[in-house]
Structure 1
Amino acid sequence: MIALSQFNGLSKDEAVGLLAPCVAIPAWGETLVNLRPFASRHALLQTAREAMDYWGEDELNAALSAHPRIGEKPTGGQAHAALSRQEQSAVDSENERLAQALQEGNARYEARFGRVFLIRAKGAAAKRFTGADAPTAAYRRRRSD
């Protein structure tokens, strides 16, 4: 994690590079970087949310497609791969039953909505993402809408 004062002081290229693993939309990162300095963490987060309001379908698809499916472990040394591995550390890919449940839930969600199911996994128990949980529950909620 980096302090806000450090983020505000980074060069444009360094700051854009730091934000790239967060969202795979270069224009989003560039917008935030160009609006520095931020007076508070709240101001930075609010600006990040507001910048998302301008995403179209293509940007949303690009952002979602850059993330691995829940239960998939990305390889490589890139920052986004390391962040995803850390976030999904509670999901045991060696557990075949869990892996199968995640794969089935992901497939149902993608078949219904045409995009990857994305959820913040950091600190969550793996069981949250199986059975009547995560992809399945999200699928059921969205289906009833």
Structure 2
Amino acid sequence: MTSSPLPGLSRLNAAAAPAAAALLHEVCSSTAWGAAVAARRPYERVEDLFAASDAAMAALTPADLREAMAGHPPIGRPTPGDATSAREQGGVAQDERAELLDLGLAYQERHGHVFLICATGATGAGIKAALEARIGNDEDTEREIVRTELGKINRIRLGRLAESAQEDPS
């Protein structure tokens, strides 16, 4: 059964290249990822958009991943005024944020980038356990975990974008 595309998916499909790039940049800060996803438009179904995202994610270089991670705030410190950041870290209680921020900064010192995890629906305790488990990972192992986590985040954000009738995908 083919139904009419979701409003945000229709908007992404119809957008001029600069507008599509801006919409996709709100999902993921990687220029390479955004260009790859935009190039495969139009999308009939959100599942096709997810498949394009997954393929683009798999192709990202370490530098592309660093660019994507740079768009994410540290765990425990959502970006003030950013509804997406606040929603994604919403499972972290206020009293857990300082400890997670300290652990995240130790992770960042070790790995050279923010700790990235799909925090949507996660608790502070779950994030803390993941941080403690991952801080000792070698660079290659951690890069692939980050790639997987970023892919999950992108799918959630793309789903919101595809369903949204507004310009703001958050």
Q: Which amino acid is the alignment partner of residue 137 of structure 1?
A: A
Between Structure 1 and Structure 2, whose CA radius of gyration is higher?
1
Q: How does 1:1-145 map to 2 (within 5 A)?
A: 2-76=7-81, 81-93=82-94, 95=95, 98-130=96-128, 133-140=129-136, 142=137
Please provide the CA RMSD for this pair. 2.3
Q: Which has the higher contact order (CA 8 A, sep 6+)?
A: 2
Structure 1: gaps spanning 5 or more residues: none
| Contact 2:75/2:97 (<8 A) preserved | no
- Residues 40 and 127 (structure 1), Cα distance of their counterparts in 2 relative to 1, 3 Å cut: same
| Contact 1:90/1:123 (<8 A) preserved | yes
- Residues 102 and 44 (structure 1), Cα distance of their counterparts in 2 relative to 1, 3 Å cut: same
Structure 2: gaps spanning 5 or more residues: 1-5, 142-170
Q: Which amino acid is the alignment partner of residue 17 of structure 1?
A: A
| Contact 2:32/2:64 (<8 A) preserved | no
3-state DSSP of counterpart to 2:135: helix
TM (norm. structure 2) is: 0.67
Tell me the distance in 2 between the aligned counterparts of 1:99 and 1:47.
34
Runs of 4+ in 1 over 3 A off after TM superposition: none
Deviations 1:90-129, CA, capped at 9 Å, x for gaps: 2233x1xx23321232133223322211111112222222
Identity, % of aligned positions: 29
Larger relative helix fraction: 2
